[in-house]
Structure formats: structure tokens, C-alpha cells
Structure 1
Amino acid sequence: MVKVGISDVAARAGVSEATVSRVLNRRGAVAASTRRVVEEAIRELGYDRGTASQLVVVLTPELAQPFFGRLCELIESALAPQGLKAIVCSTTIGGFQEIDFIRSTADLGIAGVIFASASNTLVGADPAVYRLLQKRQIPFVLMNGAIEGSQAPSFSTNDRVAAELAVDHLWRLGHREIGMIVGPVGNRPSDRRLEGFIAAMRHRGVEDPDKLVAHQVYSIEGGMSAAETLLDQDVTALVAASDYMALGAIRAARRRGLSVPDDVSVIGYDDSEIMAFVEPPLTTVRQPVERIAQSIATAMVHLVSRRNVPRGELLFDPELIVRSSTGPLRDR
């Protein structure tokens, strides 16, 4: 059997051998349409790429939530033009699925791994999965949580800025009794949002903002429970660590006969597309998911191609999206 070479692929695709080489090695700029033609020629001719894998595992929690579904979609779309294919694995934060997924896929051959707000968000998480990847020399990229002792590139929303944006908005509306609904202790993004909230409130002269904080799980039910605790303290506004928590807070307020935003203002976090269509449309802090996803994909492509990538954590500023769930403080 005659071995298929780069020249054969180039001839079938109608491009130069240099272009085929750039596609195979993921180096240099190649138009998406040209890349598709080359990839099709590779498949038709059965060209052997060697041992290089095209598969990238994306580990992420809660795909049922629109934000994470959108994030994975964007990462997958950004990797595809570079000849990489994403395998999305939904995991339970702190569970055993991550190490199981990595062990099974690493045996099949993978190019890299993306931890998209997975175990890397937990303080004190079991480092076994990262050690396994380092041992097998499989590169990985992190989102919303850098790992101590690891040089893997990390891309995160600046959660301290997110909290400042929310507090500043409510303060300007006249609110002073502002409550904060956050996730479990030890969740890095949640801890950062809490630090930002405490700093923002103290900067504005609030002596003991810690008493206005309630920890709960990231869910609608968690938001409801935390809101009940804070509404008992007569807060006039609530800042939630996720959009789903914010929806839970709105439900809790309504069950007390309170109106949002007339009696209680509520701010979420993430800005899933559907939040513009809930009632009332949710004021929220938007994570720059498009820019983060593109940066993650670019870093992964460079790592797979054995190119240098800046180490450490890169922070992206969020944006406050004002809708109808916040309003001026009213006399009670």
C-alpha cells in the first residue's frame, strides 16, 4: 500500500504543501474555508497524522445552566477552525468524575484539557488529576480558578470588580442595607465576589457588612434559602453570585408579598441570554464569556503546538447590565 504524503493531500486540496503543513501543525494563519478543504482531503486520502491527537476534553459543571452551555459552545467553535475537536464532559464539582474522565480519555489519546469552572474553582481540591496530566505531559488550561504550584494559564472574570459594580449601582439608587448571596465557602470565584462586596461596603462606611452575607449552593433553591435569611434582616437589595440564585431570591421575595424592584432590588451574575426575558428582566453582572472562551481556545492551540503561552492568571473585567429588577429605594 502506497503511503499518503503531504504532497498528495496538497494536490487533492488544491493548495500548497506549506498550507497543509500549517494545518497539520496548527501554525500560522489559514482561512477557515481552506482549512476545511485540507481536512476533507486528509480524511478522503486516509493521511496518517502520526500520534498527534485532535481531541480536547472540556470539563465543566452544570451544563443545564445556559451560561456553561454557551461557554462550551464558544470554546468548541473557537477550537474547530484550528483542527481541534472538543469533548464536553459535565462533572460535579468536587466529585470523582474528573479523574475518571481524564484517565479514560488519556488512554485513548487527547491533545489537552480545559477546566472550565470545574475542580480548579475549589480551594484544597484533590490535585491528583493535575498531577496525572503533568505526568503524561498533557497541557491544560484553567477558567475561574488558578491552581497553586501550577504554571498552567488561567483566565478568569474579575469577581472583585463584579461586586464593586453591583454595590455601586445599588448605592447610587439609595440602598444601604444590601445583602450578598454567595456560594459555598472555599469556592474561589464566590470567595472573590465576597471579598469585593466586603471591600465595597466598607469603602462606603458600612461597619459590619459580614452580617449581610448568606452562603448557599449555586441553585434557585439556594438563592431562595439565602434570600429568606437576608430578608429577615430587612435588606432592601440583594446581590447574588449567580443568575439562578437571583431568580431564587426574587421568588423568595414574592412569597413574602414583596415586589421586585419596588420593595427589593435584585442583581444576578453571569448574564445568561434568557435573563433579559424573565419577569422582571434581571439586572446582572455579565461575564465576558466570548473573550474568555476565545482566550482559552487560543492558549490551548498554542500549548498543543508547543508554543510559549503566558503563565499565570489573566483577569477580564465584567460589565453591569441594568434591567428592571433594580430600582430606587422607596420609603417603607
Structure 2
Amino acid sequence: MKVGIVEIAARAGVSEATVSRVINRRQGVARKTREAVERVMAELGYERPVQGQLVAVVTEHVSNPFFADVAERIESALAPHGLKTVICPSFPGGVQEREFITSIVDKGIAAVVFLSASNTVEGADPETYEILRARHIPYVGINGEFADGVPVPVFSTDDALAAELAVDHLYQLGHRTIGMASGPKGNRPADRRVRGFIEAMAKRGVEEPERWVSRQSYTLEGGQAAANVLLQLGVTAIVAASDYMALGAIRGIRRQGGSVPDDISVVGYDGSMITEFVDPPLTTVRQPGDRLALEVGRSVLALVSNRDVPTGELLFDPELVIRATTGPAPGAGSRGYRQRHSDRTQT
């Protein structure tokens, strides 16, 4: 027998109008009443209608091709089932993120996807999550677990493996002085990539591998600044924590008179399509954006239909894509990049 609002209202001892507000996650219902209705819906196996409802995708990185691609893939996964996605560009963990959620929470919002948003920031304000939980609006994360300790689905690329793939590739090319251009401290993906890099270097006998890490912003300028630091240390290769940082590092190397990959090899991270068409095409560790988006779509559809889904973090393997920004380390007979650069600046 198909369960409807009438049956739920009778079992919960409330009006049909109250059930309707709960189903559509609208305001005007006391918390205890909302929880009682939600409990009855679960007991009776009621699945919410989703036609026309919104799924908010919260992300800072709208201009980054990788995140734009993932958001588009999430839209493609949900649209056939009647859900519509809206992009909420906001600074992770900031006031704007909370304001976005509070402003659309009464517009028929069905779920929220935090796409490398506040779920990536240590010490982020949990108020946004509290608002969603109070309204029984499910949320999931991509590339970062939530700080509030509430078990929710999270889908992430294995950052430790990504670092190992990049370091191993460069090591096989003969590089021994490898640096890392990473994002700021307190950003979970950046911290994980740094830990993975340090572990990969230590495994290969490098002492004090943390000294080869430069922490900057996830921007072209951040990558350039990191390259400036790492070149002074005498690196022959740079592992970047994003493709944008990698492109910034290449710019920094060139502005100091170096060549990629003849003097310095560079590996990016994300794997957006545009990296195939830069000059030279960028070697990168590609995140599986298609698989991440597919699993997010499946999870959101289950959650909004009132079905249980596995919680905790699910890790996805990245893939090394070798192109033209990596090559053999300068030969033992070479005086090295720093000496050649010094010659150029003195003449």
C-alpha cells in the first residue's frame, strides 16, 4: 500500500498541513514535532517526492575547471530524478556560506553538497550544519570530513596516494631534491597532501622531508611564491597541490630564467581538461571527478528519499597523467639549475 500524508498525519497525531511542512522541510514546525513526523515517515517507509526540489552545491572554487566540472556532473546525475542544483559560491567556513544556506533553506531545498567548502577547514563554524540538521536536511561532503563529528557521507580523493604517485614518478626520473608547493595549513586536503608527500619522501630515505614543503594559497600566485622558495633550496622537481599552483610554479621558474622540464619538472593535481592544452601540457595527478560526482548523486538521491546510506569517508584512487612538464633530472655532469641561474644573473 502506498503511504501518503493522511496515513503519516494519523500515525503521528498531527495535521496534514504539518506533515506537508515537514516533508518539504519548511519552517513553522517545532523540533520535537518534526522529529516525530520524520520517525513515522521512516517507520512507514515513506519516500519524499523530489520533483522540482533544489540541491545546493557550496564551493569556493567556481572558477577552477575541476570544481566546475564536478558540479556539472552532479547536476547531470540528479536532473533526471527531478532535482535541480544551484551553485553557492562562498568562502569556506565564512559567514557567506551560512547566509546562503539560511536564505534558501525554505525554498524547497532537499540536500546540500559541500564541495571542498567548510568541510575542508579546520575549526569551521558548525552553525551551518546545525541549521541543516534541525530541519532534517541531509548533507554530504567532497574532499573533506566535517569537524562536528556527526556521521555523514563524505567522498574524497586519496591525497596520500596522490602524493606517492607524484613522488614515485619523479623519483623514477632520477630526481632526488623534490619540493612541494601546497595549500595553507588548516586546509584538510592540503594537510593530507603534505603528510603524503613527507611519507613518500621519508620512505625513500630523505631526511627532514618537511623542509622541502612551501605552504601558500591555492592560486597561481601561491604556486609562483612557493616555486621561488623551493628554487632557492635547489630542487629539481616540484609537486604542486593543485593544477593552478603548478601553473604558477611554472611561471615562477620561467621568470627566474629556468626551463620546464629541462631544469625543473613540475607535477600538478586535479586533472582538469585544460591542463592538456597549456604549454607545455601539464603532468598531473587526476582526481576521479566523474566517479566522485556519481557517488554523490547516488547518495543524495537516497538521502532525499528517506533511505539510509553508508556514512563516513569513502576514498577514491587518483590517476597519474604523464605529459610534458616532467623529464629526467639534470645529469650528474650538469652544474645544476642554481649555478646556471647564478651565471645568468651575473652576466
> What TM-score range do you get, normalising by the shorter chain?
0.7 to 0.9
Gaps of 5+ in 1: 1-48
- Alpha-carbon shift at residue 112 of structure 1 (Å): 0.7
Counterpart CA distance in 2 for 1:147 and 1:111 is: 19
Counterpart CA distance in 2 for 1:324 and 1:73 is: 28
SS of the residue 1:163 aligns to:
helix
Residue in 1 that maps onto 2:31: none
SS of the residue 1:166 aligns to:
helix
Superposed counterparts of 1:108-127, under 5 Å: 108-127=107-126
Whether the aligned pair in 2 keeps the contact of 1:78 and 1:297 (CA below 8 Å) is: yes
Residue in 1 that maps onto 2:193: 193
Question: Which is worse superposed, 207-216 or 104-113?
Answer: 104-113
What TM-score do the two structures reach when normalised by structure 2?
A: 0.80
Residue in 1 that maps onto 2:158: 158
The residue type equivalent to 1:169 in the other structure is: H
Residue in 2 that maps onto 1:295: 295
Counterpart CA distance in 1 for 2:202 and 2:50 is: 56
> Structure 1's 64 and 50: CA in aligned 2 closer, same or farther, altered over 3 A?
closer
Residue 133 in structure 1 maps to residue 132 in structure 2: yes
Counterpart CA distance in 2 for 1:247 and 1:124 is: 30
Counterpart CA distance in 2 for 1:223 and 1:256 is: 14
Gaps of 5+ in 2: 1-47, 337-347
Percent identity of paired positions between Structure 1 and Structure 2? 58
The residue type equivalent to 2:243 in the other structure is: D
- Alpha-carbon shift at residue 107 of structure 1 (Å): 2.1
Residue in 1 that maps onto 2:71: 72
Structure 1 segments of 4+ aligned residues over 2 angstroms from their partners: 49-53
Whether the aligned pair in 2 keeps the contact of 1:67 and 1:272 (CA below 8 Å) is: yes
Counterpart CA distance in 2 for 1:154 and 1:80 is: 21
- Alpha-carbon shift at residue 83 of structure 1 (Å): 1.1
- Alpha-carbon shift at residue 96 of structure 1 (Å): 1.3
Whether the aligned pair in 2 keeps the contact of 1:53 and 1:110 (CA below 8 Å) is: no
Residue in 1 that maps onto 2:340: none
- Alpha-carbon shift at residue 291 of structure 1 (Å): 0.2
> Structure 1's 92 and 201: CA in aligned 2 closer, same or farther, altered over 3 A?
same
The root-mean-square deviation of aligned C-alpha atoms, in Å, is 1.5
Superposed counterparts of 1:1-332, under 5 Å: 54-148=53-147, 149-331=149-331, 332=336
Residue in 2 that maps onto 1:34: none
- Alpha-carbon shift at residue 50 of structure 1 (Å): 7.7
Counterpart CA distance in 2 for 1:254 and 1:51 is: 52
1:121-145 deviation per Cα after TM superposition (whole angstroms, max 9, x unaligned): 0011110100110111100011111
Counterpart CA distance in 2 for 1:230 and 1:146 is: 30
SS of the residue 1:88 aligns to:
strand
Whether the aligned pair in 2 keeps the contact of 1:52 and 1:111 (CA below 8 Å) is: no
Whether the aligned pair in 2 keeps the contact of 1:53 and 1:111 (CA below 8 Å) is: no
Counterpart CA distance in 2 for 1:59 and 1:150 is: 19
Whether the aligned pair in 1 keeps the contact of 2:59 and 2:116 (CA below 8 Å) is: yes
What TM-score do the two structures reach when normalised by structure 1?
A: 0.84
The residue type equivalent to 2:81 in the other structure is: Q
1:189-240 deviation per Cα after TM superposition (whole angstroms, max 9, x unaligned): 1110001000000000001111100000000001000110010011000000
Whether the aligned pair in 2 keeps the contact of 1:166 and 1:267 (CA below 8 Å) is: yes
Equivalences, count? 285
Whether the aligned pair in 2 keeps the contact of 1:267 and 1:282 (CA below 8 Å) is: yes
Counterpart CA distance in 1 for 2:82 and 2:52 is: 10
Counterpart CA distance in 2 for 1:53 and 1:143 is: 24
Whether the aligned pair in 2 keeps the contact of 1:117 and 1:144 (CA below 8 Å) is: yes
SS of the residue 2:131 aligns to:
helix
1:69-93 deviation per Cα after TM superposition (whole angstroms, max 9, x unaligned): 1111000010001111101111112
Counterpart CA distance in 1 for 2:157 and 2:173 is: 25
Residue in 1 that maps onto 2:29: none
Counterpart CA distance in 1 for 2:328 and 2:52 is: 56
